[in-house]
Structure 1
Amino acid sequence: MARLPVWILLLGLCPWLEASGKNSAITTVNGILGESVTLPLKIKNPQDVENIAWSSPDMSVAFVQPRPSDAPQLSVTHQDYYGRLNVSRDNYDLVISHLRAEDSRVYTANINTEHGEKTETRRFSLHVYSRLGTVTITRSVTPTENGTCNVTLTCRVEESENVTFSWTPPGAGPVLYLSQGPGGHKGAVTCTAWNPVSRSNASVDAELLCTDTVPRCEHCRSWVLAATGPVALLLVLLLVGVLLLLRHKTQRQRPPQDTSSEKTLYKQVTVSQPADARVYDDIPASKVVPPKEELRIYSLVQYSDKMRPGSPPEGRASGMSNYANVV
């Protein structure tokens, strides 16, 4: 889009700015933040238009120059609108894109026709709103007698500027008061929030509004079922741990078992034989040794006083014992 020198634009705009009627009707136009809006001129004879000057009370906005058999030439005269203005080819309506909150203002279009002999004025009041987000309903419950309750419902929305609230059953404003109990409202309670560019709503079941204050709780059943599985698994793991701990303690307190397969028996025998004599006792194994066990019997031989010489025999110490190895 071409841009005319500032002094030329100001000279061209002055007559139309002075001619703009203060008492001309204002058309209200609503736009959505971040989106586009069109300011419709509704020109009866577009072919007679020579130029159009767009302005607001404190600045000029754009200058439009129609061209035969071609798109009109648009010159943006304020930097806040660079890259955000466009003009329709057939009727020269002004399109503002990427709307901002500061775009909310009054716009005046001075339309010069028939070689400047006639000027028509159009005025627009643009309001930019945000699109509404999610609506939520919160409640406050006060129990009364006979299982009834007083309920306060509050409706909220993410974008709360210029928002209107209504309720079903009938109610106005973001807060609704209900007395709920036997014979009370049944079905859905709906809050609707809207602004000039969007609408959103949310609902709650009226029959469940007092469930937190009476013994019977329908939604508790699903919660209990959901929690049963993890609790049961935890109890099983705890029981297994206790059993393993008891088993470990029992094994530690049990006395050690004698696994030796070899047993030794000693038998004391007194003999009156020379010191170097050896005595072997033949003891049947079947009388002493249990089945499949090896039994060793050692016989302790002591010397009597008569046979004990004054000095021990050579190669033997006094009081030496002979052992009989019996298998």
Structure 2
Amino acid sequence: MPLPYSGVVFHLCLIVFACTHVSGGEDVPVILNGLINQSIPMSLSGGPSGPVQLVFWIFKTNPLVTYTNNQLNVIDEKFKGRLELLDDGRVLKIGHLRLEDSGLYTGTITLTNNTNYKKSYNLSVYEPVPTPTFGSVKTKITDDGCNATLQCLVPTNKSSLSYTWKYRHGDSEYQLYNNSGDTIQITLTNNSWDREFMCIVHNPADQKNISVKDICLDNDTKNKRVPNGTRNLRTYKYLGLIVLALIIPLAFLGLYLIMKRKRRKAGTPDVMEDKNREPQYIQVTTFQPNADTQEWNNALYDSSPRQKPKAVTVYATLEHPLETKR
């Protein structure tokens, strides 16, 4: 509830009195960063302790608020309904921050023993950082690897934003990449295709990030785009394996034939060929055996005494010694 005119004058007099009798405080302002629509506290801690008689704050050069006898009086109309004094007036809390709330705040606390303490804050209010996106990733495949251009885009004024790039392999920790702009040029060798890059867009009060990996993969096939030199090298490897697969069986076959030829030269018979050779006959004789020859009688005559002896043809088989196949 606003104080009557006489009350305002009284508080202004207290402010003037306190400002002329400040016995201690901090001269260097404390840096604070806040976001639009959020809140931020400012504490007068660090000074003497004791019962509080008066607390007042100045924003830039204008009286902001006073606190005495547990009563809060907001002087600056722009902060109506957005200020709180907590902890018996030792903490000022500003809610629903606006960009125009940025500036220097100076608070002074006066204890009942007339001891004063002053502290200042330099507040900067920022808009939240929007979620960034990547522009079109430009890649160029070479025999040595992959060259790529990455651009980090945000739909807002870039003047208050900063960019930090990091990278990592697999699940390892991110490492700082030596570049602070919104665009980077990178070179990936053939053994670092899986490197992941992160773009961090930030201001002093907020940050957002986005990451990308598999930069050198074809978006259509999701296959690694291999440089021509590397592709040719792989082709040569495959052809070498095919040739090797053909040479090994031929080598074994050639070795077998050589060993077989050596055995033949050493006089080893070819048994199968000799077995398949047809027998040759000589000494073919046809004769009529004598009746009084007991051996032929037994072999050629029937038991009947009336049967006459038959003509007999004798074949002698010519046996050849085993020869080596030539």
Q: Does 1:186 align with 2:202?
A: no
Equivalent residue of 1:172, what SS? Answer: coil
Asked if the contact 2:55/2:89 (under 8 Å) is kept, the reply is no
Equivalent residue of 2:108, what SS? Answer: strand
Aligned alpha-carbon RMSD (Å): 2.8
Cα distance in structure 2, aligned partners of 1:8 and 1:91: 18
- Which of these residues, 127, 130, 134, is aligned with residue 133 of structure 1? 130
Alpha-carbon distance, 1:23 to partner: 6.7
Residue in 2 that maps onto 1:155 = 152
Cα distance in structure 2, aligned partners of 1:23 and 1:137: 45
Residue in 1 that maps onto 2:104 = 106
Residue in 1 that maps onto 2:78 = 80
Asked if the contact 2:26/2:118 (under 8 Å) is kept, the reply is no
User: Structure 1's 84 and 17: CA in aligned 2 closer, same or farther, altered over 3 A?
Assistant: same
Asked if the contact 2:152/2:199 (under 8 Å) is kept, the reply is yes
Cα distance in structure 2, aligned partners of 1:105 and 1:144: 52
Matches within 5 A, 1:233-312: none
Asked if the contact 1:134/1:200 (under 8 Å) is kept, the reply is yes
User: Structure 1's 91 and 58: CA in aligned 2 closer, same or farther, altered over 3 A?
Assistant: closer
Q: Does 1:30 align with 2:27?
A: no
Superimposed CA distance per residue, residues 116-175 of structure 1 (whole angstroms, 9 cap, x where no aligned partner): x32211111111122222121224425354495421111123454533322222232222
Asked if the contact 2:29/2:121 (under 8 Å) is kept, the reply is yes
Superimposed CA distance per residue, residues 80-111 of structure 1 (whole angstroms, 9 cap, x where no aligned partner): 11111111144531111110001111111121
Cα distance in structure 2, aligned partners of 1:217 and 1:80: 59
Alpha-carbon distance, 1:19 to partner: 5.0
Equivalent residue of 1:99, what SS? Answer: coil
Equivalent residue of 1:218, what SS? Answer: coil
Residue in 1 that maps onto 2:9 = 7
Cα distance in structure 1, aligned partners of 2:29 and 2:101: 16
Residue in 2 that maps onto 1:209 = 216
The alignment of Structure 1 onto Structure 2 pairs a total of residues equal to 209
Asked if the contact 1:152/1:177 (under 8 Å) is kept, the reply is yes
Equivalent residue of 2:160, what SS? Answer: coil
Asked if the contact 1:16/1:53 (under 8 Å) is kept, the reply is no
| Structure 1 unmatched ranges of 5 or more | 220-327
Asked if the contact 2:48/2:117 (under 8 Å) is kept, the reply is no
User: Structure 1's 140 and 188: CA in aligned 2 closer, same or farther, altered over 3 A?
Assistant: closer
Q: Does 1:171 align with 2:169?
A: no
Residue in 1 that maps onto 2:206 = 198
TM-score after normalising by structure 1: 0.56
Equivalent residue of 2:129, what SS? Answer: coil
Equivalent residue of 1:11, what SS? Answer: helix
- Which of these residues, 76, 92, 95, is aligned with residue 94 of structure 1? 92
Asked if the contact 2:35/2:205 (under 8 Å) is kept, the reply is yes
Cα distance in structure 1, aligned partners of 2:159 and 2:41: 23
Superimposed CA distance per residue, residues 171-194 of structure 1 (whole angstroms, 9 cap, x where no aligned partner): 322222112452344232111222
Alpha-carbon distance, 1:35 to partner: 1.0
Superimposed CA distance per residue, residues 244-281 of structure 1 (whole angstroms, 9 cap, x where no aligned partner): xxxxxxxxxxxxxxxxxxxxxxxxxxxxxxxxxxxxxx
Give the partner amino acid of 1:27.
V
Alpha-carbon distance, 1:4 to partner: 5.0
Equivalent residue of 2:165, what SS? Answer: strand
Residue in 1 that maps onto 2:324 = none
Asked if the contact 1:46/1:90 (under 8 Å) is kept, the reply is no
Superimposed CA distance per residue, residues 218-251 of structure 1 (whole angstroms, 9 cap, x where no aligned partner): 28xxxxxxxxxxxxxxxxxxxxxxxxxxxxxxxx
Cα distance in structure 2, aligned partners of 1:210 and 1:149: 10
